Structure 1
């Protein structure tokens, strides 16, 4: 049982690393230009504080995979 959990964790980490690499290399300007996602500052540990304005999010008119990558990658 514990071995299965470790395999799941390793697979999740691998998937996250792949997505993070894509987020850093793909053109996400389509997502940047919609105005619903922006960095408002940093927290006490220097991590970005991100604001998402749902009413400005055009869910039916945008590539949701690219939105996910935008959340993972640099703002």
Structure 2
């Protein structure tokens, strides 16, 4: 979106029906799609604890090599993070 954020406020004129629909959606938002819920949970698992770590520690973990013994677990976690 090249025009976001807008330089100045925009005014939308809605019909009564559309206004009521917007108010109803604010009061009763729809359930998020399952894919979005899974993505939010995955992001929280991946990003949550790192907020408290020093950047050099986070980078050390990123650069760490997983031993062959645990490579299958690393691959499984990486695959879960993609879905």
Decide which structure has the larger Cα Rg and report it.
Answer: 2
Q: Scaled by the length of structure 2, what TM-score is found?
A: 0.27
